[in-house]
């Protein structure tokens, strides 16, 4: 059973998605959260990194909308099929997260590329940081890696995924900007859907869809999908509706 250690709301700060907005998060620090408990948390719009669970609590903005793909009815677009085909030569492995120089170096190259191309703030990642954020012990956490056998099994992509009884949650993905095939991030999501379909899971959680944020526009291309109405409390039943009924 979960042990909730701390709860707080961040003071407003510059939003990393919409620069003209002020952002704030509700944060809960917890340990011993079971996969069943985490499934209920995900369904209410929360996300997780390490022992921290968070969701938006912005006063003047509600642009961050939790979204999930409906696995049974999902149909890949032509671009998504192309991305999957472009990654077909890669070896996809699933296991426990690992902290090593190989992963740290790819993350550093990827992050530097994002900072240069999209003006992201600098955010260096130490081995201890990586272990806390991506490899913190949790019954749901998994690592999905892509290796290229044509380049001596070079690691070209790493995904952090949470698994709960009904769903997979795509928490984070980064790739080698020099050696990964085009659109590997899209291929990662498509192949998560493929895996979920084979295993009889219902949803792929994608985190927050934010209208007006180019970095997150890809999330709206996985259809059909559902969006969460509001941010329900623990004693409220979450209401997910077809995303087509909302403003894209």
Q: Tell me the C-alpha distance between 176 and 108, whole Å.
A: 9
**Backbone dihedral angles phi then psi of residue 239, each to the nearest 5 degrees:** -115, 110
Q: Residue 44 pLDDT more than 90?
A: yes
For the chain, the domain total comes to 1
Q: Which residue has the tokens 């559902």?
A: 226
Read off the pLDDT of each residue in 74-103 and give the average, rounded to a whole number.
97
**pLDDT band at 244, cuts 50/70/90?**
low
Q: What is the dihedral of CA 67, 114, 120, 26, to 10 degrees?
A: 30
pLDDT, tens digit, 9 for 90 and up, residues 12-27: 999 988 989 999 999 9
Range of the domain at 83: 3-245
What CATH number should be reported for the domain holding residue 170? 3.40.630.30
Ranked by mean pLDDT, the top range of 6-20, 37-51, 233-247 is 37-51
- Segment 187-206 shows an average pLDDT of 98
CB atoms within 10 A of CB 173: 20
User: Which two three-digit tokens encode residue 48?
Assistant: 């997780």
Peptide bond into 224 cis (omega under 30): yes
Distance CA 30, CA 68 (A): 24
């Amino acid at each position: 059973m979960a042990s909730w250690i701390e709860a707080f709301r961040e003071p407003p700060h510059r939003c990393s998605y919409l620069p003209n907005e002020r952002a704030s998060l509700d944060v809960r620090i917890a340990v011993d959260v079971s996969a069943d408990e985490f499934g209920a948390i995900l369904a209410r719009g929360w996300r997780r990194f390490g022992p921290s669970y968070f969701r938006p609590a912005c006063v003047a903005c509600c642009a961050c909308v939790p979204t999930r793909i409906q696995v049974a009815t999902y149909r890949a677009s032509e671009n998504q099929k192309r991305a999957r085909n472009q990654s077909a030569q890669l070896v996809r492995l699933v296991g426990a997260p690992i902290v090593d120089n190989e992963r740290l170096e790819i993350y550093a190259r990827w992050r530097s590329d994002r900072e240069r191309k999209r003006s992201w703030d600098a955010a260096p990642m130490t081995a201890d940081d990586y272990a806390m954020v991506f490899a913190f012990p949790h019954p749901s956490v998994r690592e999905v890696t892509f290796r290229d056998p044509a380049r001596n099994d070079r690691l070209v992509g790493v995904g952090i995924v949470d698994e709960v009884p009904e769903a997979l949650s795509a928490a984070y993905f980064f790739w080698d900007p020099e050696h990964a095939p085009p659109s590997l991030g899209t291929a990662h999501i498509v192949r998560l859907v493929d895996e979920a379909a084979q295993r009889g899971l219902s949803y792929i959680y994608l985190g927050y869809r934010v209208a007006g944020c180019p970095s997150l526009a890809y999330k709206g291309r996985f259809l059909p999908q559902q969006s969460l109405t509001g941010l329900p409390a623990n004693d409220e039943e979450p209401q997910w509706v077809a995303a087509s009924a909302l403003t894209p």
